[in-house]
């Protein structure tokens, strides 16, 4: 069932609109997404899945779309699309799902993300206009501090630390249900580990592992695994 967009979104106060985003402006921002995604009446899959009913849906949850292994795995781990997860994913898809097929540079402007999320929200059931209510609750900043990204890791120290990683992740790069981290770009590795540390990524074992590591240890692991072929 498809309803007119205006009917889907209840009227908001100026304060609520400023905090949750302007769906009309979001429709303009969403134009850059339309080459891969459709939304609204008659929407179907393109390079990416159709986005109707996105909020509250498990990642990789449409049975008639062939998702990347990363999104399928995130769904199995329990990730559900809400405002926070979408904000992180739209800002930098690979910061949330390492091996997503979404090769998109991301939307760096937080206001633009807020607007496009408000636009997407209009095509899910029972849109909420209460800022504190999931899934419209305000997201935290998904970006890793540039100073953290600039830490120079020690590959020898990274190799020493890597034994816990390699109990699950294969050094030869094979992927048997557990993603390969061999040859992973250093920045992607650091971003992913800090996303686990901040509990943006939902895998409980990785959250526990990341929580034990200092910024310097993460940097050293990152530079070590990047050097592996």
pLDDT grade, residue 8 (50/70/90)?
Answer: very low
- What the block records as the tokens of 60 is 């990789």
Last residue in a domain, options 85, 105, 121: 121
The length of the chain, given as a count of residues: 229
What is the reported pLDDT for 172?
80
DSSP summary character for residue 132: T
Residue 41 belongs to what domain range? Answer: 5-121
Considering the domain architecture, whether residues 115 and 165 belong to the same structural domain is answered as: no
Q: Residues 25, 115: one domain? A: yes
- Cα 40 to Cα 123: distance, rounded to the nearest angstrom: 7
Say what the pTM is. 0.58
Contact 221, 210 (CB under 8 A): no
Quote the number of domains for the chain. 2
- The predicted pLDDT at position 174 comes to 75
H or E element: which one contains 93? helix 93-96
Residue 175 lies in a domain: yes
pLDDT band, very low/low/confident/very high, at 36 (cuts 50, 70, 90):
very high
- The pair of three-digit structure tokens given for residue 21, joined into one six-digit string: 């985003």
Residue 134: inside a domain, yes or no? no
Nearest to 32 by CA among 99, 106, 83, 94: 106
Percentage of the chain beyond pLDDT 90 is 42
Is 126 a member of any domain? Answer: no
On whether both 159 and 80 belong to a single domain, the answer is: no
User: What's the whole-number average pLDDT of the chain?
Assistant: 81
In this prediction, residues 39-67 reach a mean pLDDT of: 93
> The domain spanning residue 221 has which CATH number?
1.10.760.10
Max Cα–Cα distance, the chain, nearest Å: 59
- CA 49/CA 123 separation, integer angstroms: 14
Pair 20, 134: CB distance under 8 Å: no
- pLDDT band per the 50, 70, 90 thresholds, residue 199: confident
């Amino acid at each position: 069932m498809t309803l007119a967009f205006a009917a889907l979104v209840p009227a908001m106060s100026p304060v609520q609109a400023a905090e949750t985003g302007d769906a009309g402006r979001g429709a303009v921002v969403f134009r850059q997404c339309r080459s891969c995604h459709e939304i609204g009446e008659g929407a179907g899959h393109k390079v990416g899945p159709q986005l109707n009913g996105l909020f509250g849906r498990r990642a990789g949850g449409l049975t008639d779309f062939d998702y990347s292994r990363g999104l399928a795995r995130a769904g199995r781990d329990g990730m559900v699309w809400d405002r926070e997860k979408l904000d992180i994913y739209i800002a930098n898809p690979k910061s949330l799902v390492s091996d997503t097929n979404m090769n998109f540079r991301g939307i760096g402007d937080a206001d633009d993300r807020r607007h496009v999320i408000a636009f997407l929200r209009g095509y899910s059931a029972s849109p909420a206009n209460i800022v504190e209510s999931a899934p419209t609750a305000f997201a935290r900043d998904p970006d890793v501090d540039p100073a953290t990204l600039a830490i120079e890791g020690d590959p020898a120290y990274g190799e020493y630390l890597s034994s816990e990683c390699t109990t699950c992740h294969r050094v030869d790069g094979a992927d048997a249900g557990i993603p390969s981290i061999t040859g992973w770009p250093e920045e992607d590795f650091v971003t992913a580990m800090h996303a686990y540390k901040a509990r943006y990524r939902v895998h409980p074992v990785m959250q526990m592992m990341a929580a034990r590591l200092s910024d310097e240890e993460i940097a050293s692991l990152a530079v070590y695994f990047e050097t592996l072929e």
